Amino acid sequence: MAKSDRDLVKKRKADYNRNRYKKDPAFKERLKESYKKWYAKNKKSVVERVSTNHQKNHSDYLQYQKEHYRYLKYRRKYASKSG
């Protein structure tokens, strides 16, 4: 099976499950239950991952702020002297 075929099968299965989720309330309940079980089992790693991502994003944002401020300072300093 080629890679594209596998992707197609995955997509078709996802579409089927999405439609089933919308139409079949019993399936929806089973899915929610299984997700709750999965989350209870993996809660620690999920929370850890979310918090590390949050910290990483925040530090990236602070870095961006610092560089942007440096750029603005530079622009203020040299903008009037050009030309």
What is d(CA 56, CA 50) in angstroms, rounded to the nearest whole number?
A: 10
pLDDT interval class at 67 (50, 70, 90): very high
Model pLDDT, residue 2: 61
Interval 15-37: pLDDT, tens: 888 888 888 899 889 989 999 99
pTM recorded for the entire structure: 0.41
> The domain containing residue 19 runs over which residues?
3-79
The structural domain count of the chain equals 1
Torsion angles phi and psi, residue 81, rounded to 5: -90, -5
The one-character DSSP state at 80 is T
